[in-house]
Structure 1
Amino acid sequence: MSIRQINLMAKRKTWFFLSLAIIIPGLISLAFQGLNLGIDFTGGNLWHIEFEEETYSHEVREVLSIHGLEGSQIQEVTASEYVIRSVLLERDEVDAVWESLEEEIGSFEMLRNEVVGPVIGKELTTKAIYALLIAAVAMGLYISYRFEFSFAIAAIIAIVHDALVTLSVFSILQIEVNSAFVAAILTVIGYSINDTIVIFDRIRENLKYKQSNKLVELVNRSVWQTMNRSINTSLTIIFVLLAMLIFGGQTLKPFILALLIGVISGAYSSVFIASPTWLEIKKLQKTKS
């Protein structure tokens, strides 16, 4: 039997189970330990410093690690200028960090010194939820218009699947979540829906020309007809993200990791969640009629 003869849709319960094996532990983790929220959500200190001499971001991070702040966000503006975001510190802790920076690296000028309050973090959380809901509803309406409502339901379920998988991994591993994480989730949703639409379009074409009398065989054929495109697109993105994860620096890692998990989940859901879900919806509609 060749690979193309494997009936992926006949094993759809297996694919659903594999997804639940990640999502259910993730939901339990979210319920008991939640997400490891960064200062964008919880509040913290923001310093914009300019050293008198050139330095490197890893040197700044090494000094911060002395005070247990190795997870702080360090943004390099120039070779001697940095924006540092840390957890909320007391005044004596701030003084100790500044003293260490001056002793270990050299004199610096404080260009900006602010405290980000948790109220801003709460507002950011609310706006992030609104952004995700608006994106899901807009996509659902568009797909309903271009295809049919059953396709929209299947696509939204796949989108929710990808968001839950990414959240589950971040919660279980307690990886820090910041504002860039929201951007990563929205990017993943856009990528996932694009791959899903390609498969749905092929299903619609095969339905139009009656490529098969059996719906399971038709969906399976449609998936295999787009499989090469799905694999090639996913792998090229994954290779780039892996390179960025390895060489992109500490600050970018949570963002890149969210994209990597989401892209892998999105490639999986387009084939193994969206298409089988649409098939189940159509079978349910047929049973009711």
Structure 2
Amino acid sequence: MAWRLRLVPEKTNIDFFKLQFITFGVSALAVVVSLLAVAILGLNFGIDFKGGTTIRTESTQAVDIGVYRDAMSTLELGDVSITEVFDPSFRADQHVAMIRIQAQEGAEAVTPETIGVIEAALKAVDPAITFPSVESVGPKVSSELIWSALLAVAAGAAGIWVYVWIRFEWQFAVGTVAALIHDVVVTVGVFAIFGLKFDLTIVAALLTILGYSVNDTVVIFDRLRENLAKYKTMPLREMMNLTANETLSRTIMTATTTMLSLIALIVFGGDVIRGFVFAMLFGVIIGTYSTLYVAKNIVLFLGLDRSDKPKGGKPASHEFANIDA
């Protein structure tokens, strides 16, 4: 028999409801604290949401983000984001970067004089550099982006709610969406508490967290639906514990492999994607927690009508039934 690595024992009997009021209370407290942090401390919005100026650069020399950043560090421009742009259509000697500078105090955009100083500083370290375009984003556009981001997250949660309701029952949909709201709000709260930069990449991370969390939750609910048909007289609480233990191997394995990739990215990925990766890493942790301790707990509180469950019939084999962790 081949040796296989297991992250959890083949069979577990963990009582996920043993401390249900403590775990659920911690989750509720975390949501409240996060909302208060956002309301009181606010978010450290990046250029996408605060407005600013974007300068596109081109050069025949390779882009060195560290050198560019050092050249601009003495100009006291505030939040500056520098990213290299890659495109298959670029020539071999065409190296492009985008430099985004936050709106300066008392002005909607960086003044032409300041742009001239920036260009001179960059030319000093790269004489071949050119500046094909300079664009500014004002506060009005930035406020529209904030609303668009909120609508995107809300639309994602609403779509998931409808999907789970159609596939399962309304109690499952309520539990799923409550867990998703918990994940998003707590993640945003962490950004508010620690003053981490919040920009459009973080919104993308939040939407990705929604997808990851609902995938984990649906796997458990799918197994729960099978068990509802299989164990018709088993109390709902015991059945949910059985279901969570049956799928625990898959849940832990998915979370662990995902986190290994994200840890590698957060260590070696550089500053450009670090905020996005941190949001994803925290989202995977909190999403796994909410799958086990929030979504199904709410379904238990709401209860299920088991009178119309299918009579007889062998439940379909689950695609994750025999996955080892």
* TM-score, scaled to structure 2: 0.81
* Cα root mean square deviation, aligned: 2.1
Measure the CA separation in 1 of the matches of 2:50 and 2:189: 20
Separation (CA, whole Å) in 2 of partners of 1:50 and 1:158: 46
54, 66, 86: which is aligned to 2:62? 54
Matched position secondary structure for 1:84 = strand
Matched, 1:96 2:117: yes
The number of aligned residues is: 284
1:135-150 alignment runs, 5 A limit? 135-150=156-171
The residue number in structure 2 matching 1:132 is: 153
| 245, 250, 258: which one aligns with 1:237 | 258
Structure 1: which 5+ residue stretches go unaligned? none
Contact 1:7 1:220 in 2 (8 A): yes
Are the counterparts in 2 of residues 238 and 263 from structure 1 also a CA contact under 8 Å? Answer: yes
Deviation of 1:46 (Å): 0.2
Matched with 1:163 is: 184
- Amino acid aligned to 2:22: T
In structure 1, the partner of 2:47 is: 39
Per-residue displacement from partner, 1:132-188 (whole Å, max 9, x unpaired)? 222222221221111100000000000100101110111111111111111111111
How far has the Cα of 1:64 moved from its partner?
2.5
Q: In structure 2, what residue type is equivalent to 1:86?
A: I
CA distance in 1, matches of 2:245, 2:213: 17
CA distance in 2, matches of 1:55, 1:138: 41
**Partner residue, 1:200:** 221
Query: 1:1-50 CA distances to partner (integer Å, 9 max, x unpaired)?
Result: x9923311131112113323433332221111211111111110100012
1:118 maps to a residue whose letter is P
CA deviation map 1:62-117 (0-9, x unaligned): 22322345742212126742111110234433333222222234342111111111
Q: Which residue of 1 aligns with 2:99?
A: 84
Hey, which bits of structure 1, 4+ residues long, moved more than 4 A? none
Tell me how far apart the structure 2 counterparts of residues 62 and 97 of structure 1 sit (CA, whole Å): 12
Contact 2:78–2:102 (Cα < 8 Å) also in 1: no
Q: Which residue is equivalent to 1:64?
A: 72
The answer to whether the 8 Å contact 1:47/1:85 transfers is yes
TM-score with structure 1 setting the length: 0.91
Distance 1:53 1:65 in 2: 21
Q: Is contact 2:63–2:97 with CA below 8 Å preserved after alignment?
A: no
Q: 1:228 to 1:59 in 2, by over 3 A?
A: same
Instruction: Tell me the secondary structure at the aligned position of residue 62 of structure 2.
Output: coil
Letter in 2 for 1:45: T
Counterpart secondary structure, 2:132: strand
